[in-house]
């Protein structure tokens, strides 16, 4: 812990020495000279934009944008085809399942014959009344 305090103290002394060395020069500079130098330099943000962002934006608009849109269109078409294939497979599966549950021979089993005979006998009794 003591080493950190000693290091911080020495660093503060070093920074104070570096600043005090230039104080006499800073006292001699007028406000007009400061304003002139500040206006001549421009902003750091504009410099960084001109060096890094502007070439990247130009590259994107001139070369990469059209290729990216074509790639995106191809991916979208392929995804759409896959979705349509999956939809077709699911439709066939549901048709298959639906076909399994249909009663294809209604009335030909003994149970359905008994039910139909009972219904016919009830209808016959109602006609007599």
CA dist 60 and 109 (Å) reads: 74
Q: Is the pTM of this model over 0.95?
A: no
Element (H, E) at 82: helix 65-101
- Apex CA 30: angle with CA 28 and CA 35, to 5°? 135
Per-residue pLDDT tens listing for the chain (129 residues) = 899 999 999 999 999 988 888 887 878 888 888 888 877 877 788 888 889 999 999 999 998 999 999 999 999 999 999 999 999 999 999 888 877 655 555 556 788 788 888 888 887 655 544
DSSP string, 94-114: HHHHHHHHS-SSTT-SHHHHH
Nearest one of 34, 32, 54 to 45, comparing CA atoms: 54
């Amino acid at each position: 812990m003591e080493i950190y305090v000693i290091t911080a103290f020495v660093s503060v002394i070093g920074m104070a020495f570096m600043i005090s060395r230039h104080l006499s020069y800073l006292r001699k500079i007028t406000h007009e000279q400061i304003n002139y130098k500040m206006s001549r330099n421009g902003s750091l943000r504009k410099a960084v934009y001109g060096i890094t962002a502007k070439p990247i934006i130009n590259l994107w608009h001139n070369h990469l944008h059209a290729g990216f849109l074509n790639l995106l269109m191809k991916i979208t078409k392929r995804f759409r085809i896959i979705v349509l294939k999956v939809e077709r497979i699911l439709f066939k599966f549901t048709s298959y399942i639906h076909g399994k549950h249909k009663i294809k021979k209604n009335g030909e089993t003994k149970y359905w014959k008994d039910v139909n005979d009972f219904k016919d006998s009830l209808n016959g009794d109602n006609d007599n009344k």
